[in-house]
Amino acid sequence: MSEHIPVLLNEVLSILNPSDGKTYFDGTFGGGGYSRAILEKANCSVVACDRDELVMPFAEKLHSEFPSRFSFTHARFSEIKKILAQQNIQKLDGIVLDLGLSNFQLEDESRGFSFNSKGNVDMTMGLCNETAMDIIHRCSEEQLANIIYTFSEERFSRRIAKSIKKNLRNIKTAEDLANAVRACVRRTGRIDQATKTFQALRIFVNRELEELKFILNESLELLNSGGKIIVVSFHSLEDRIVKSFFRECGYQKDAFQVITKKPIAPSEEEIEINPKSRSAKLRCLLRL
């Protein structure tokens, strides 16, 4: 498995500005790239979580290097209050969220995140109630079309839902699912026709947008004065939620300030080294 290259790491560090004695929350631990860099930058503490058990070995390694400054909980970031309460932490000086999938997840065939995968139609990141296979079986054609449209803005959602339902018996792997999409939509450019459908099912299965909205709401009262929320998002549905939430907060001029009037994007150099960073957008809100 190739390693996960943290996206916009220098930018996250320079905005967060980790300082001695402060406490930070990394809600999307992944390969631990952000947590490690924060811990190395200052004599601070990092409380991390990830919904995917796959990251446990990375978390254990980091804990063995920083036993008194790093803790990890296998949980969803929407459980932030519970995670902090368990450790008797009342306030934070920063929250970082690096949304989306890690390379480890993308390359894990058994998860079926990638549309050439021979793995199951699963798409769960961990701590989910249903798989993508459950969804395509449980939902009616109309419900499926609505999910695909709502979570990817795919304009052929109805046609795709029809094709998936028609081919349901033959859909065993992620590749079969992709083929059901390819059978009804013509490819026009470099992007595979199944991309949006996969994005939509993944977002729905993992309740990604609800998770994001929930933690944003929870985070406001958890931040110390001078504390920041930094979110790196990878598609417009997520970015829109972050942008409008931060803008609303920014109206309370004596309480919050939006640090990033425009989102920060990766440099051309970073995109060249790590093409997966291409669509990343970083936004930051400061508690005054």
Ligand X SMILES: C[S@@+](CC[C@H](N)C(=O)[O-])C[C@H]1O[C@@H](n2cnc3c(N)ncnc32)[C@H](O)[C@@H]1O
Q: Is 202 in the site for ligand X (CB under 6 A)?
A: no
Tokens of 59: 């978390």
Q: Is 18 in the site for ligand X (CB under 6 A)?
A: no
Q: In terms of CB distance, is 1 or 255 closer to ligand X? A: 1
Q: Where are the alpha helices (DSSP H) in the chain?
A: 9-16, 33-41, 56-65, 80-86, 103-107, 132-138, 141-150, 157-166, 174-182, 195-205, 208-219, 236-250, 268-273
> x/- binding map, residues 19-48, to ligand X, per CB under 6 A?
--------xx-xxxxx--------------
Q: Is 51 in the site for ligand X (CB under 6 A)?
A: yes
Q: Is 235 in the site for ligand X (CB under 6 A)?
A: no
Q: How many CA atoms, within 13 angstroms, populate the side-chain half-sphere of residue 65?
A: 13
| Side chain identity, residue 164 | I
Q: In terms of CB distance, is 75 or 174 closer to ligand X? A: 75
Q: In terms of CB distance, is 87 or 170 closer to ligand X? A: 87
Choose which of 24, 72, 77, 113 interacts with ligand X (CB under 6 A).
77
Q: In terms of DSSP bridges, do strands 223-233 and 281-287 run parallel, antiparallel, or are they unpaired?
A: antiparallel
Q: Is 55 in the site for ligand X (CB under 6 A)?
A: yes
Cα pseudo-dihedral 105, 110, 113, 115, rounded to 10: 140
Q: Determine the Cα–Cα distance for residues 93 and 43; give it in Å rounded to an integer.
A: 13
> x/- binding map, residues 99-128, to ligand X, per CB under 6 A?
-xxx----------------------x---
| Side chain identity, residue 69 | R
Q: In terms of CB distance, is 53 or 221 closer to ligand X? A: 53
Q: Determine the Cα–Cα distance for residues 95 and 46; give it in Å rounded to an integer.
A: 10
Instruction: Report the nearest approach of ligand X to the CB of residue 102 (Å).
Output: 4
Which residues contact ligand X by CB under 6 A?
4, 6, 27-28, 30-34, 49-52, 55, 76-77, 98, 100-102, 125, 211
